[in-house]
């Protein structure tokens, strides 16, 4: 792959919110996640980890639990989550994974200073690698919300899935094949790049 291709991937990647349920090859997913593990990380400590969930039963349990909790969220208390909460309240089939057959959950120690930044870098690398492999991906933050809310049932499920006692979720990315064209990027806002020469 040339550096021009790398630029193309970074600029053309978009969040995909309608994924096919078709399984994704294990080797492909491993390579995508490996790209995440090579992201920059605070103090070079490599504390962030990925739980790649492909088990249909666990994915279903997570979908049901998230739909239930988001449905019950109060709009008044969670204004920044309004769009998602309204979707859950209006749609009996609300699925925070957008139908994807794999979910990469970024976990890291709750008390590590760089956990959020480490997980964000990791998930961005992972999304670019997914795009390179022709997969759709979208950051989905509901597991993070519920971990912040200390939802015991969710945390219990995640412990069963391999999350350690000292860790929490900082984000997750749903992955899968998709059909149809990728959305266009929104125009970039003015004033976000300042050159001092
Ligand atoms: C921290 C963070 C949280 C996000 N949470 C969600 C989410 O819960 N659901 C969702 O559909 N997209 C979510 N996104 C994706 C953004 O909406 C998306 O990246 C943004 O609209 C820009 O679009 P693009 O990724 O296609 O460039 C999140 C992105 C980030 C970085």
Residue 186 domain-assigned? no
Least-confidence region, from 21-25, 28-32, 87-91: 87-91
Calculate helix-pair angle for 26-37, 115-132, nearest 10 degrees.
Answer: 140
In this prediction, what percent of the chain has a pLDDT beyond 90? 86
* Residue 144 banded pLDDT, cuts 50, 70, 90: very high
Atom 9 of ligand 1, residue of closest alpha carbon: 140
pLDDT for 160 beyond 90: yes
pLDDT for 180 beyond 90: no
Residue 77 domain-assigned? no
How many angstroms separate the CA atoms of 144 and 84, rounded? Answer: 14
134: domain range? 13-55+95-176
pLDDT for 76 beyond 90: no
Q: Which atom of ligand 1 is the closest one to the Cα of 141? A: 8
Q: Residue 24's pLDDT is what?
A: 98
Whether 176 and 59 have beta carbons less than 8 Å apart is answered as no
Please give the structure tokens belonging to residue 127.
């999304």
- Average confidence (pLDDT) over 38-63: 98
pTM of the model: 0.96
Strand, coil or helix: what is 104?
A: strand
Residue 139 domain-assigned? yes
Atom 22 of ligand 1, residue of closest alpha carbon: 15
Q: Which atom of ligand 1 is the closest one to the Cα of 127? A: 25
Q: Residue 72 contacts by C-beta under 8 Å, 6 or more apart in sequence? A: none
- Average confidence (pLDDT) over 16-41: 98
pLDDT for 78 beyond 90: no
pLDDT for 83 beyond 80: yes
Please give the structure tokens belonging to residue 162.
């391999």
How many angstroms separate the CA atoms of 119 and 172, rounded? Answer: 9
Distance from residue 16's CA to the centre of ligand 1 (Å): 10
Distance from residue 195's CA to the centre of ligand 1 (Å): 27
Residue 152 domain-assigned? yes
Q: Residue 174's pLDDT is what?
A: 98
Q: Residue 140 contacts by C-beta under 8 Å, 6 or more apart in sequence? A: 96, 97, 98, 103, 172, 173, 174
Distance from residue 154's CA to the centre of ligand 1 (Å): 22
Residue 19 domain-assigned? yes
DSSP conformation class of 15: B
Atom 31 of ligand 1, residue of closest alpha carbon: 139
The CATH number of residue 21's host domain is: 3.40.109.10
Atom 21 of ligand 1, residue of closest alpha carbon: 15
Least-confidence region, from 14-23, 77-86, 147-156: 77-86
* Residue 74 banded pLDDT, cuts 50, 70, 90: confident
Atom 25 of ligand 1, residue of closest alpha carbon: 15
Strand, coil or helix: what is 140?
A: strand
Residue 194 domain-assigned? no
Region for residue 104 given its phi and psi (left: phi exceeds 0; alpha: psi -120 to 50; beta: otherwise): beta
- Quick: pLDDT tens for 3-28: 879 999 999 999 999 999 999 999 99
Q: Report the domain count for the chain.
A: 1
Residue 86 domain-assigned? no
- Quick: pLDDT tens for 100-141: 999 999 999 999 999 999 999 999 999 999 999 999 999 999
């Amino acid at each position: 792959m040339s550096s021009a291709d790398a630029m193309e991937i970074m600029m053309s990647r978009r969040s995909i919110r309608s994924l096919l349920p078709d399984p994704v090859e294990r080797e492909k997913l491993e390579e995508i996640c490996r790209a995440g593990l090579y992201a920059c990380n605070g103090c070079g400590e490599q504390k962030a980890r990925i739980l790649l969930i492909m088990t249909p039963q666990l994915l279903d349990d997570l979908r049901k639990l998230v739909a239930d909790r988001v449905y019950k969220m109060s709009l008044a208390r969670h204004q920044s989550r309004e769009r998602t909460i309204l979707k859950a309240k209006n749609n009996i089939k609300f699925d925070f994974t957008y139908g994807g057959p794999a979910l990469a959950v970024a976990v890291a120690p709750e008390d590590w200073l760089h956990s959020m930044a480490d997980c964000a870098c990791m998930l961005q690398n992972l999304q670019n690698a997914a795009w390179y492999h022709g997969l759709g991906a979208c950051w989905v933050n509901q597991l993070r919300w519920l971990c912040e809310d200390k939802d015991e049932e969710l945390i219990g499920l995640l412990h069963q899935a391999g999350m350690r006692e000292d860790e929490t979720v900082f984000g997750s990315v749903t992955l899968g094949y998709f059909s149809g064209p990728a959305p266009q990027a929104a125009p970039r806002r003015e004033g976000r790049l300042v050159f001092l020469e």
